Amino acid sequence: MVDSTLETILNKVQKPGRYVGNEWNSCLKEHDQVQLRMVLAFPDLYEVGMSNQGIKILYDSVNKDVDLLIERVFAPAADMEEQLRQEGYPLFALESGKPLNAFDIVGFSLQYELSYTNVLNMLDLAGIPIYSKQRGDNHPLIIGGGPCSFNPEPLAPFFDLFLLGEAEEALPLLLKEIIINKQNGLTREELLVQLSSRQGVYVPSFYNPLYSSGRFSGFEKLIEQAPDAIEKNYVADLDSAPYPTAPVVPYIQTAHDRAVVEIFRGCSRGCRFCQAGYIFKPVRRRSSEKIIETARDLIALTGYDEISLSSLSSSDYPGVDELINRLDEALAGKGVRCSLPSLRLDSYAVTLAEKLHQGRRSTLTFAPEAATERLRKVIGKRISEAEIYQALTAAVTAGWQGFKLYFMIGLPTEEDADVEAIVELCRELRQTFRRQGRHNIRFVISIATFVPKAHSPFQWEPQLSMPSVIRRQQLLIEKFRKMPWVEFSWHDAETSFLEAVFARGDRRLAPLLEKAWQLGCRFDGWSEHFSYSRWQKAFEALGINPEDYANRSYSYADPLPWDHLHCGVEKEALVKEHRLAFSVPAEQGSEG
């Protein structure tokens, strides 16, 4: 809903389609006809947020309840923020145009550590005090969820509560309890006490962090009712769980512009660097019947011409080739193609890709992560060098001429030789293909820096120091410069360093976030906005050494800021995996 002031604002910004709402399948309810009003906030641009499947699932699950209302808001781009501040116009929800402070709940989806300054900026633009202790009964409850809520400590002072784990079933139930407690006249504090007894609810103000010799040493509970540990919520049966068949269809192009069916949740691969593989355990699958039914409805109700079969490792779905055949039959004549966003690195995946691409051969994407067999064994990536050659050879034979390969540097136990092996692997693959008469094979090589994450087996490991990361990046830059058939890209070392700081952070980083935001930090995950010099000023102003977070090695006995938040995998299991990683012999061996 656009008033005259907003219309003036929208005429001055680059992409007004980010802010007008009213998209196909959006849900507009009357605020006075429901018992509780929530706005779902995504601290990044509309194009990114509307590509997030979790947002669509929660939007659908809450709006299905006649007593509840949920709308959306995304981080405004710099030009929109400037106009909002200049006009004194509060940040508003897309559906109704109402300011965020008119809602009962503002819930942030926390997907990425470098979006944290956007959270503070959105609260401020909405006229909501950024610290929970500054908010009263007349302010919305500020709740957080998503992967970053498994260590939310750097954000803890800004939030009233976090909902840990999967929320499509838990969130509507939580909102219903809030309705009941508010009807009973509970104050904000009393409400939080009541909610803290629910599974997955973490109220950070009920826990006081302790420090010894400048290091985190544990928590003390401030109220008796607060649980010693918070257990995550998870959906036991995906077939019966809420899932949107009529998601909102954006008017402007988004990062992932297609219909999506989540075919299973969790991952059985067990890569030791991967947080998602652990926090989304156990593996749960949707039945093929439910997948086909959902896909048919999605295409009918959205008009998309592509359906993506989504998961952490989609080609691991049992009978995925038969599933694709059945989907082709169900969607025959509609001009719809299927895609798999994640393929394992083997010749079976190439067979699947042939089936999906139907004659179109552009670039095939794989993620070896490491170029030596030894290092792949360390990180739990169970793929041999022979299998890499077999998969890529099969792809070349099938007509592919380009490959995008993802690697990481800075992995535990990595040496320069492991980094140089990335170049050697590309050179040897190209030579192999040239001997076969394939002379036009090209590679796109993308390098990320290892970031230790909470609740993964490598949570105790330090990130490689920034100077060492930059040196290894430079090593690759120099070598790939002599290989014109390789397009090389890498993640900025400073942003990866900052990600590690907050991934392993504690509450002492909250004032740092506030200071960085005050200095102008926004959209830190975007290279065109990121300013490491601003962050350096914030660190210096508060006397914080970021290396103490990113580059520290923990022992198993050390208290971790996230120990009280349980992801469903016992700490002993993570310790076992960590020890297995370091039991890999130094010499090259065969895959186990």
Contacts of 521 by beta carbon, 8 Å cutoff, 6+ apart: 117, 531, 534, 535, 538
pTM recorded for the entire structure: 0.95
pLDDT at 141: 98
**Beta 105-109 vs 141-145: how paired, if at all?**
parallel
pLDDT at 591: 38
Q: Strands, E, within 410-455: which ranges?
A: 442-449
Residue 161, SS3 per DSSP: strand
**Sequential pLDDT tens for the chain (592 residues):** 568 899 999 999 999 999 999 999 999 999 999 999 999 999 999 999 999 999 999 999 999 999 999 999 999 999 999 999 999 999 999 999 999 999 999 999 999 999 999 999 999 999 999 999 999 999 999 999 999 999 999 999 999 999 999 999 999 999 999 999 999 999 999 999 999 999 999 999 999 999 999 899 999 999 999 999 999 999 999 999 999 999 999 999 998 889 999 999 999 888 999 999 999 999 999 999 999 999 999 999 999 999 999 999 888 999 999 999 999 999 998 989 888 887 787 767 788 887 777 656 678 889 999 999 999 999 999 899 999 999 899 888 888 889 999 999 999 999 999 999 999 999 999 999 998 888 889 999 999 999 999 999 999 999 999 999 999 999 999 999 999 999 999 999 999 999 999 999 999 999 999 999 999 999 999 999 999 999 999 999 999 999 999 999 999 999 999 999 999 999 999 999 999 999 999 754 433 3
Topology of the domain comprising 4-231: Rossmann fold (3.40.50)
- Cα 539 to chain center, whole Å? 25
* Rounded Cα gap, residues 438 and 245, in angstroms: 44
DSSP symbols for 358-393: TT---EEEEEEE-SSHHHHHHHT----HHHHHHHHH
* Rounded Cα gap, residues 249 and 229, in angstroms: 39
pLDDT at 588: 45
CB count within 10 Å of CB 360 equals 8
**Domain boundaries along the sequence of the chain:** 4-231
